Amino acid sequence: MMLPNDAVEYARTATFDENTVPEKLLKDHNLKAGAWGLLVVEEGSLELVFDSRTERIGAGQAAVIPPIELHHVRPLGAVRFYVIFHRLP
């Protein structure tokens, strides 16, 4: 999945690791309608778990989180990651 071509960045989380990832990211949650996330892994790896699929994201990779779709993250050992939020102008 890709971000819409005209999506613009509007917020970014802090960088989290396996010890500082907020509890709410470890449980099912979703983004608002019209908002996309770009989960970027700097070091290590994690799983991005949706109802119908699981994506493994490693260092130097990113994954798109679409609006409304329930998801959570599952760190796979030591990891550093952040999320950049986008919306349409």
Give the pLDDT confidence score for residue 33 in this predicted structure: 96
In a domain, 13, yes or no: yes
Beta-strand runs (E) in the chain: 8-12, 16-17, 35-50, 54-58, 62-65, 71-87
How many domains, the chain? Answer: 1
In a domain, 3, yes or no: no
Give the pLDDT confidence score for residue 1 in this predicted structure: 79
In a domain, 40, yes or no: yes
Separation of alpha carbons 58 and 43, rounded Å: 7
Domain of residue 66: give its range. 9-87
Separation of alpha carbons 3 and 64, rounded Å: 7
Give the pLDDT confidence score for residue 70 in this predicted structure: 98
Confidence tier at 82 by pLDDT (50, 70, 90): very high
Q: How do residues 16-66 score in pLDDT, each as one tens digit?
A: 999 999 999 999 999 999 999 999 999 999 999 999 999 999 999 999 999
What is the CATH classification number for the domain harbouring 29? 2.60.120.10
Let me know: does 3 contact 85? Beta carbons within 8 Å: no
Mean pLDDT of 9-18: 98
Give the total residue count for the chain: 89
In a domain, 53, yes or no: yes
